Structure 1
Amino acid sequence: MSTIAEIELPAKEFALRTALERAPNAEFDVVRVAAHDANHVMPYLWVTADDLEKLDSALRADNSIDKLNLIEDLGDERLYRMHWVDQIHVVIHILVEEEATILNLHGKEDRWRLRILFPDRDSLSATYDFCQDTGLSLDVRNIYEISDTRHGLYGLTEEQHETLMMALEAGYYDVPRDSTADDLAGDLSISHQAVSERLRRGHRSLVKNALALSPSDGRE
């Protein structure tokens, strides 16, 4: 069964280390990453920083980058395409050796967080062993299996998925609302508090797993 894992790596052991050191307030959100070959990784990533010009200079001075192209400049954030050529062994292993998919990759301050879809639990174990053997400080933060339905991809439980879909179909999200939390509670035969909790946790999982993957200090 496919497995999703959220892992963290220290920034000093990963690409863009120099850029993060020189622009400590920068954040990187990779929206697509592919292995160009055994020695190159080509990501597209959005970047934000207090001083984007300073960050641009830091990127161009970073030895882990071979090619750098500015694709979009929206004023407060930029989209780059680049080639990573150093400190990318774990990414190559994940994409090539394990045939896994990197769903999210977020870098900030002193660490990177990756959310990875592995073909199975053995592939995750092999990646952990690879990092141990190569001296990388891999920290596995969260692991869960994908259920037989697609909602497992977004970290939703069966109950959360059921409640969210019922809320959508009942018009809970319409403006004005055609249904209330009390209505949903009656349909589901659970308390108002339980409905609110399912919706809150479900919304958090959807935002976290579909839209963002920011480093967090707390384990889940």
Structure 2
Amino acid sequence: MGLVAEFEIHCEALPLTGVAADVSEATLILELQFNHGNRPLFLVTARGGPQRDLEHALSAAHDVERWTFIGQAEDTRRYQIRPALSFEEQLGDEIDELTGLKALATAEAIIERIEVRDYGWNQTGWFASRNAFTDFSHFWQHNASFQLRRLTQDGETEPPGEGLTDRQHEALRTAYELGYFDIPRRTSLEDVATELDLSASSVSERLRRAQTQLIEETVAPTWPPLST
């Protein structure tokens, strides 16, 4: 079964981050149109922010060869942009593995949303398998900074933690509110057990299972496999 991931790539060398920095009040959604040779056209949907400021930023951007205003509906504007640089030229000084960058273009994945920010790209993507996602995330962990925001199986809409049972939710919340996870701890496992009217061993097992579930849903998919 495939995965749906929302994540941030922190790399200021990514295309159009300078434009996003210059017009921080605007939301810039980027689509890549790959049917125009080696350099895909950029299709940008801009919402909010002064139109004049955005277009001035596009004209001044070092990674924009030329841009064309396509149309507008209320405060949403559409642009077609021809990049001045290939991805290899744009990221060459920042990325250690250019061959790996090329491989991402053929990954078993569909990136359906890219929001350009001043620090990089926020993305949502569909991945055919956990291995496909792992390869993708490991590349950006090694070459830039990768922060996972949400990871679910396709067909699911729940945020992380929805795989927990009601009892696991209750145990985590009670332990948290009583200060069991504070440093230093403000309460003991026995106190949490008393609050839940359970034995300490039952609460310990329930907390471990809940923590394992949260790790498997969030950070574990981004970890490289242990060498054997």
Q: TM-score, normalised by structure 1?
A: 0.57
Cα distance change, pair 137–83 in 1 and its aligned pair in 2 (3 A): farther
Count, aligned residues: 149
Q: Report whether the alignment pairs 1:61 with 2:70.
A: no
Q: Report what 2:27 is aligned to.
A: 27
Secondary structure of the equivalent of 1:82?
Answer: strand
Q: Report whether the alignment pairs 1:136 with 2:135.
A: no
Q: Report what 1:15 is aligned to.
A: 15
CA distance in 2, matches of 1:155, 1:139: 19
Q: Give 5+ residue unaligned stretches, structure 2.
A: 92-97, 160-228
Aligned ranges for residues 64-83 of structure 1 at < 5 Å?
A: 64-74=63-73, 76-83=75-82
CA distance in 1, matches of 2:49, 2:152: 36
- Displacement of 1:83 in angstroms is 3.3
Code of the residue aligned with 1:132 in structure 2: it is Q
Secondary structure of the equivalent of 2:55?
Answer: helix
Q: Matched residues, percent identical? A: 18
Q: Report what 1:5 is aligned to.
A: 5
Secondary structure of the equivalent of 2:25?
Answer: coil
Q: Is the 8 A contact 1:106 1:112 kept in 2?
A: yes
Q: Report what 2:215 is aligned to.
A: none
User: Of the candidates 89, 94, 97, which is equivalent to residue 106 of structure 2?
Assistant: 97
Q: Is the 8 A contact 2:66 2:82 kept in 1?
A: yes
Q: Report what 1:155 is aligned to.
A: 157
CA distance in 1, matches of 2:73, 2:11: 26
User: Of the candidates 117, 126, 135, which is equivalent to residue 117 of structure 1?
Assistant: 126
Q: Report what 2:42 is aligned to.
A: 43
Which has the higher Rg, Structure 1 or Structure 2? 2
Q: Is the 8 A contact 1:25 1:109 kept in 2?
A: no
- Per-residue CA distance 1:169-211 (angstroms, 9 max, x = gap): xxxxxxxxxxxxxxxxxxxxxxxxxxxxxxxxxxxxxxxxxxx
- Displacement of 1:108 in angstroms is 4.1
Cα distance change, pair 15–92 in 1 and its aligned pair in 2 (3 A): farther
- Displacement of 1:110 in angstroms is 4.0
CA distance in 1, matches of 2:51, 2:11: 19
- Displacement of 1:56 in angstroms is 0.5
CA distance in 2, matches of 1:23, 1:136: 23
Report the RMSD for the aligned CA atoms in angstroms: 3.0
Q: Give 5+ residue unaligned stretches, structure 1.
A: 147-151, 158-220
- Displacement of 1:55 in angstroms is 0.8
- Per-residue CA distance 1:41-84 (angstroms, 9 max, x = gap): 33322113432111101012212223422111335231012234
- Per-residue CA distance 1:121-163 (angstroms, 9 max, x = gap): 1111111221233x211111111112xxxxx1x6259xxxxxx
Q: TM-score, normalised by structure 2?
A: 0.55
Cα distance change, pair 68–75 in 1 and its aligned pair in 2 (3 A): same
Q: Is the 8 A contact 2:5 2:126 kept in 1?
A: yes
CA distance in 1, matches of 2:63, 2:35: 15
Code of the residue aligned with 2:135 in structure 1: it is A
